[in-house]
Amino acid sequence: MKKTVASSILGAAIALIGYYEGYKPKAYLDPINIPTICYGHTGKDVFIGLTKTKTECDELLSDDVKIAQKAVERLYRGVDPLPDETAAAMISFTYNMGQGALATSTMLKKLNAGDLVGACNELPRWINAGQGINKKPLQGLINRREAEKELCLKGAMK
């Protein structure tokens, strides 16, 4: 992946993330009871009762997307730069599932081996929320992974 990510890649990732996360300025518990705010932001700084302005939420989204983008750049070791759409899909995935999920995934192994189509086709496997016996597929994740896969393949098929 290029060291300097084009603003179009970040723009595509932010649009996808914003759509699927939704804008919620008041903290809430996500489907697996993690305090969440704005566009799916989680962390030690989020607690029920917290409210953020639209500007604060936009800044959090931008900062969090840059963290996901840097993780994708660090973990991707392929010879050629990722196509913009594929990179945007991987950033969206990493934003949602975390760096650890990408780092240990078959999807990353396929990306790094140059099998972009195979990597994109791994996205629909990531539809569950929760841990262990509490793990369950969520329709929102099914929809999101399908959109990420479509975007990813658009780049991979160029």
Q: Identify whether 1 is part of a domain.
A: no
Residues of the chain falling short of pLDDT 50:
1-4
- The one catalytic residue in 30, 56, 58, 115 is 30
Q: Identify whether 2 is part of a domain.
A: no
Q: Identify whether 41 is part of a domain.
A: yes
Q: Identify whether 15 is part of a domain.
A: yes
pLDDT (tens digit per residue) in 120-154? 999 999 999 988 888 899 999 999 999 999 999 99
pTM assigned to the model: 0.93
| Full domain range(s) for residue 39 | 7-156
21 is catalytic: yes
SS in 3 state form for the chain?
CCCCCCHHHHHHHHHHHHHHHCCEEEEEECCCCCEEEECCEECCCCCCCCECCHHHHHHHHHHHHHHHHHHHHHHCCCCCCCCHHHHHHHHHHHHHHCHHHHHCCHHHHHHHCCCHHHHHCCHHHCCEECCHHHCEECHHHHHHHHHHHHHHHHHHCC
- The one catalytic residue in 21, 64, 84, 148 is 21
58 is catalytic: no
Average pLDDT, rounded, for the chain? 94
List the CATH number of the domain containing 55. Answer: 1.10.530.40
In the chain, the number of structural domains is 1
Would you state the pLDDT for residue 133? 82
